[in-house]
Amino acid sequence: MATKAAHKRLLREYEAIKKSPPPMITAHPSESNILEWHALLEGAPNTPYANGQYWATLTFPPDYPFAPPAIRMHTPSGRFQPSTRLCLSISDFHPKSFNPAWSVSTILIGLMSFMNSEEMTAGSVGGTEAERKWHAARSRWWNSTGGGSATKPVPGVHATTKGLGNIKAGDGGVKFRAEFPDEDKENWEWIAEHRIDPATGRILPDPEGETINCSPETKALRRILGGSTGVGAVVQGGQAARDAGQGWIWRNKVWLLGSCLIVYVMLSRVLTAGAD
């Protein structure tokens, strides 16, 4: 439970955010818990996250602002591990570096800035530009469906019982819909407009001989998501290739070490013979 000071401070900051929201960010506290905040970050232009919709939560301690919040990004982005505490100077990983003068807006702007950097820390991942564009293209679908149906697993989406406030892949978008009803409605209109399959995130083919939507955005989505390519194919394909390479080395490590030893012995003999 929040202290009176924390409750008063967070209410004041919410009013400030409603009056003057940070650029490309919307945020609000949960109706049931002033210490649990939900935010949507819009992917910045000219970045791999452009047009993406990223859902984050801030969990404030009861004695805020004298201690920082735990920060999690739930929407897969290729930049952060979903629903994992992030190690930032503005998060609970570094309570001694937190400045009580920093506001919720300051924290969210800092999160946006960190997202657009390449700095690595606990909770971040090193995705490629193509992977991040792929995640951005399906971010609205992921938020409003919870990553697809929990009863019909989708490649790259793993249902889990862990998460903050039942935020989990495969929950059908229940938590997102409760926190962002207007944005959820817009997302479903977007899903219908671009013929995205709600169960899989795949772009449905147009009926034979008929083009339903050929807008520039839909064409871009088809290029990124691959049209008939299943969700996860691009990302999983790249990871599978990396895993395959690592697996081959591991399986053949004995032969590789033996080959290196033979080459070393032969080179030693040649150099010794040359010296004589």
Quick check: pTM over 0.85? no
Confidence of residue 276 (pLDDT cuts 50, 70, 90): low
Q: Which of 25-29, 197-201, 267-271 has the lowest mean pLDDT?
A: 267-271
| Same domain assignment for residues 122 and 242 | no
Helix, coil or strand: residue 56: strand
Who contacts 162 (Cβ-Cβ below 8 Å, separation ≥6)? Answer: 83, 168
Question: Which residues does the annotation mark as catalytic?
Answer: 87
Q: Is residue 228 part of a domain?
A: no
Is the residue at 215 inside a domain?
Answer: no
Confidence at 223, pLDDT banded by 50, 70, 90 = confident
Whether 240 is in a domain gets the answer yes
Q: What confidence tier does 25 reach under pLDDT thresholds 50, 70, 90?
A: very high
CB atoms within 10 A of CB 188: 18
User: Across residues 238-245, what is the average pLDDT?
Assistant: 39
- Structural domains of the chain, count: 2
The CA-CA-CA angle for residues 251, 253, 257, to 5°, reads 160
Measured torsion, CA atoms of residues 6, 7, 13, 14, in degrees rounded to the nearest 10: 150
Lowest mean pLDDT among 75-79, 139-143, 169-173, 254-258: 254-258
Is residue 56 over pLDDT 70? yes
Mean pLDDT of the chain: 80
Q: Do the Cβ atoms of 10 and 104 come closer than 8 Å?
A: yes
pLDDT of residue 216: 78
Please tell me the distance from the alpha carbon of residue 86 to that of residue 54, in angstroms, as a whole number: 15
At 249 the pLDDT is: 43
CA distances from 41 to 53, 67, 118 (A): 6, 23, 17
pLDDT of 153-169, one tens digit each?
444 444 444 444 435 55
Q: Are 163 and 83 in contact (CB under 8 A)?
A: yes
- Whether the per-residue pLDDT at 265 is higher than 70: the answer is no
Q: Higher-confidence residue: 265 or 16?
A: 16
Query: Does residue 9 share a domain with residue 127?
Result: yes
Higher local confidence (pLDDT), 63 or 171: 63
Residue 216 within any structural domain of the chain: no
Which domain range does residue 258 map to? Answer: 236-275
Question: Tokens representing 74?
Answer: 């739930």
Among 120, 137, 154, residue at a domain's last position: 137
Which amino acid is located at 43 in the chain? G
Task: Please report where in the chains the tokens 């088809």 appear, as a residue.
Answer: 222
Q: Minimal CA–CA distance to 233: which of 159, 154, 172?
A: 154
Domain presence at residue 222: no
Supply the CATH number for residue 16's domain. 3.10.110.10
Asked whether residue 143 is assigned to any structural domain, the reply reads: no
pLDDT the model gives residue 147? 81
Residue finishing a domain among 137, 162, 189: 137
Contact 10, 20 (CB under 8 A): no
